[in-house]
Structure 1
Amino acid sequence: MHVLVTGGAGYIGSMLVPAMLARGWQVTVLDTFAAGEPFLAHSCADPNFNAVRGDTRDMRVLEPLLKQADVVIPLAALVGAPLCARDEIGATSLNRDAVVNLVKRASPSQLIAYPTTNSGYGIGEGNAACTEESPLRPVSLYGRTKVEAEEAVLGHANSLSFRLATVFGMAPRMRLDLLVNDFTWRAVNDRAVVLFEAHFRRNYIHIRDVVKAFLHGIDNVGTMRGQAYNVGLSEANLSKAQLCERIAKHVPGFVWLEAPVGEDPDKRDYIVSNDKLEATGWMPDHGLDKGIQELIKGYRMLRNGRFANV
């Protein structure tokens, strides 16, 4: 098995790539490595690992790598509504156009396993859980580009799409902007957080269970191909305030306040059903409380003061 992972040095890739190498698969990572950090250093000793510095939007770099692959996992993206809003051209060219171009060049036998976001559900349907058949109504450029890319992927003869809930958990390439990671960081370091629109609900999923979903999909592509699957914790359809309550169980003295003015620039508000993926035999291993405990331990080692002067 030869797998090509674009953007493989990011948050998900830094966990997924070692898991695939552990299976004896050949894994090529195409990444700009813009962060300049060796997030995949522990993989370099594996003879089945190859790292290529380049941009997935550059077809001269992508095409020869694509020809060698049995499975393609397009992780390269500008992730999150704020980042995409700051770079609309980059978001459109990387999140959508690069994926569309990849799909056009892939052969029918190559599996494309695509990570999108369940933020495509947008405002949701009140207290009714969004399923894979629910209408997609993204409320941000990030959501729109991912929805459009997913449509292209599912038009490919051999494809899977995973609509990821908000991911949390420790990884070599850590992200502190994701909601559980962010609120737990603030709880550990500041003992307080200010919430905007605290009633907005999201679904959450541990990064190790995201990895498990990709491996499960590849293993069961014969029965799963051509479809989208929500990937989240069924026990964790929570509002921001409810998430803070869970964190407070593990961080004594943590308090949160709802701001009387201001609003969340990311207007997502929905709950999600993960029944479809669970019916294929996948189940998550890492609950929210276990993940919060993991983050608390991790944050004892992590310092986010790279750009501070104190």
Structure 2
Amino acid sequence: MNYNILVTGGAGYLGSILVPELLKLGHKVTVLDTFIFGQNSLADVCFMDNFNVVRGDARDVNLLKKLTKDIDIVIPLAALVGAPLCNRDEIGTITINRDAIETLCKVLSKEQRILMPVTNSGYGIGQDGVYCTEETPLNPISTYGKTKVEAEEIILQRENSISFRLATVFGMSPRMRLDLLVNDFTYRAVKDGFIVIFEGHFKRNYIHIRDVARAFIHGIDNFDKMKGEAYNVGLSDANLSKLELCAKIKEHIPNFTIMEAEIGKDPDQRNYIVSNDKIEATGFYPQFSLDMGIKELIKGYTIINNSKFSNV
């Protein structure tokens, strides 16, 4: 079945992968984006009749009312993402990441569906050796984590919604981000040949950008049995510390030098391992391994040679 879908922030890192896939499946997609990063990541789908694009702000209630009039599904990707960027613009973070979601829920009818990404950094600091499940109490530390947790609470109260708690995303995208951990570490390995890391024992989970897009499509196709719930989305074989991640990259780039520093602190203080059993029980399994992503990034960084692709 084909749907009319609105994707806010659809020209960003995830949207630039997800939107073309939705269009290929025959869905009619409207993207709302401010194009704040000057990206042209959706230029190659402008020829498609089932694609529409609007330059505007996801906080604009009148614009939202207009754009959602005949929409079946909303995928709100518009957000300030990552602790450093959010700390730099706290007001923007609160109004975009949380308040715009609240506005959207007020504008939509009960029949209209929402599928939204949040971050599993909401788990904060986990217990050693204990997997975080969707039942684990949330303990976000950063403004970014807190606003995404609050946004999840808002959409799940309306029931006709799905929340995807994303692991740290990696992989190439037309609107690239170099500040994500795997992307960043691999870039440093390729371009610098060395890295200095802090809190090297801190663990987190990872997921390829294309598997994130696949998770959204899976949610659309299985909405009735998945609605009203949150789902962790990550690679079950990739709960790795920073040092373990560096060792994995070194397998592909043997001359990569890894050094540890005692000074430095992750603003999110993310240190946890995550279970993805719940979404796997619905039939979703990732197709892209961490090794595949590292190989992809190495090729991509032959093309990319500057830092404009960072959110910070």
1:104 equivalent in structure 2: 106
The DSSP-based 3-state class of the residue aligned with 2:105 is: helix
Quote the offset at 1:240 in angstroms.
0.2
Greater mean alpha carbon deviation, residues 229-238 or residues 118-127 = 118-127
1:124 equivalent in structure 2: 126
Letter in 2 for 1:243: L
2:292 equivalent in structure 1: 290
Q: Figure out how many residues of one structure are paired with residues of the other and give that number.
A: 307
Q: What is the aligned-residue identity percentage?
A: 63
Quote the offset at 1:143 in angstroms.
0.3
Quote the offset at 1:125 in angstroms.
2.1
1:201 equivalent in structure 2: 203
Distance in 2 of aligned mates of 1:129 and 1:255? 31
Distance in 2 of aligned mates of 1:253 and 1:67? 55
**Structure 1 residues 272 and 306, CA, compared in 2 at 3 Å: closer, same or farther?**
closer
1:43 equivalent in structure 2: 45
Distance in 1 of aligned mates of 2:125 and 2:307? 35
Letter in 2 for 1:242: E
- Alignment partner of 1:189 out of 148, 172, 191: 191
Letter in 2 for 1:72: V
2:156 equivalent in structure 1: 154
Distance in 2 of aligned mates of 1:262 and 1:125? 21
- Alignment partner of 1:71 out of 66, 69, 73: 73
The DSSP-based 3-state class of the residue aligned with 1:203 is: strand
2:167 equivalent in structure 1: 165
- Alignment partner of 2:136 out of 124, 134, 137: 134
- Alignment partner of 2:25 out of 23, 26, 35: 23
TM-score (norm 2): 0.97
Q: Mind listing any 5+ residue stretches in structure 1 that lack a counterpart?
A: none
Letter in 2 for 1:234: S
The DSSP-based 3-state class of the residue aligned with 1:42 is: helix
Letter in 1 for 2:46: C
- Alignment partner of 2:301 out of 299, 302, 310: 299
Letter in 1 for 2:166: L
Distance in 1 of aligned mates of 2:131 and 2:195? 28
2:232 equivalent in structure 1: 230
Letter in 2 for 1:235: D
Distance in 2 of aligned mates of 1:157 and 1:240? 36
Greater mean alpha carbon deviation, residues 296-305 or residues 172-181 = 296-305
The DSSP-based 3-state class of the residue aligned with 1:162 is: strand
Distance in 2 of aligned mates of 1:263 and 1:155? 34
Quote the offset at 1:305 in angstroms.
5.6
Letter in 1 for 2:219: G
2:145–2:268 contact (8 Å) kept in structure 1: no
Quote the offset at 1:263 in angstroms.
2.4
Quote the offset at 1:306 in angstroms.
5.7
1:176 equivalent in structure 2: 178
Distance in 1 of aligned mates of 2:308 and 2:247? 30
The DSSP-based 3-state class of the residue aligned with 2:303 is: coil
1:252 equivalent in structure 2: 254
TM-score (norm 1): 0.97
Distance in 2 of aligned mates of 1:261 and 1:297? 32
